[in-house]
Amino acid sequence: MIPDFAFTLLARDGAARRGRMATAHGTVETPAFMPVGTAATVKAMRPEDVAATGAEIILGNTYHLMLRPGAERIAALGGLHRFMNWPRAILTDSGGFQVMSLAKLREIDESGVTFRSHLDGSRFTLSPERSMEIQRLLGADITMAFDECTPFPAEEEQARSSMELSMRWAERSKAAYQARRGHALFGIVQGSIYDELRLASATALRAIGFDGFAVGGLAVGEGQERMFRVLDATVPALPEDRPRYLMGVGKPADIIGAVRRGIDLFDCVLPTRSGRTAQAFTRRGTVNLRNARHAADPRPLDPDCVCATCSQYSRAYLHHLVRAEEILAPMLLTQHNLRYYADLMAELRGAIEAGRFDAVAARLAAREAEGDIPPL
């Protein structure tokens, strides 16, 4: 039987939270990182290999999937979980960010957004109601309210107008959303870098009522210091008993800082994109496998990692694959990067449970500051 959607707080250490989220497609231990599967695939990875990294939830995207192959087609084929062979939880972004960043000739008004596809110029309209319909057709466990992602930088009045439009769209998203057991609708806090606007947005979303709350419009160029300041102002205004999601973040140091401030969920293209550009995350910093220093190195990428890449392949081999432009290179590096992120989240969960978050965070920072292991 499908369980009710639920979020349970299991432990706290300061503002950092250790929780568990129940969905129609399994539980998610939080804080958690969601690999990005924008177009019904986590790039360079089979779904079973994504699961083997420790991921319990992935992200799909309304904008990309509405363009191709189309939400109705995916629904006819059994929904997104069956279509992409991913049996665990899926969160779908509402499409607002991609409309801002990718679509051509955008026209935004109260009803929604009319735009031309970045793929072939075809004309589409996306509204709160259509976004809810698409995400229902996809079968998303977690649906995101339709919003306008405020560009950065933005003057305060521009940010206010954008935020207030998103709040009106949030009301329409809630009205159009069809509740089902095990599924959830999250609202998205907007307001750029302005504390007053962020608090007004959080207040409006709480009044509408959502199953979870995301902080959007960050990681768009404002920098880590401003991002943390916005979280300091915003997160305390969100309900304690609902999951909190920081959209589009990020680097390991960003994630650690956001967990410290009470965030539960994260997504970012960084581990997968880095895997496709010869970058690997290790416990002693980022490694560029293009560098000649790895050409004759027989050691694993990260001696403390138990992923298949690190247990079966040498730095020399990975370097060779990268330089030879073999498809296996992004596959192996992406697999490792996703395992690194999953291990990071597991370490943070354990630190919160043990009441040692600050000590573990300091150790993680010091370890990375040491830098990569020197060549033999």
Q: Give the integer Cα–Cα distance in Å for 67 and 79.
A: 16
Q: Which residue has the tokens 């590096």?
A: 333
Residues belonging to the active site: 93, 267
3-state secondary structure of 97: helix
Q: Give the integer Cα–Cα distance in Å for 342 and 347.
A: 9
- Spatial contact of 89 and 105, defined as CB atoms under 8 Å apart: no
Other C-beta atoms lying within 10 Å of the C-beta of residue 2: 12
List Cα–Cα distances, 369 to 253, 285, 287, 295, in angstroms.
11, 7, 13, 24
Q: Give the integer Cα–Cα distance in Å for 211 and 232.
A: 21
3-state secondary structure of 340: helix
Specify whether the backbone of 303 is left (phi greater than 0), alpha (psi in -120 to 50) or beta.
alpha
**CA angle (8 as vertex; 176, 145 as ends), nearest 5:** 20
- Positive or negative, the CA dihedral 197, 145, 188, 65 is negative
Q: Give the integer Cα–Cα distance in Å for 123 and 143.
A: 24
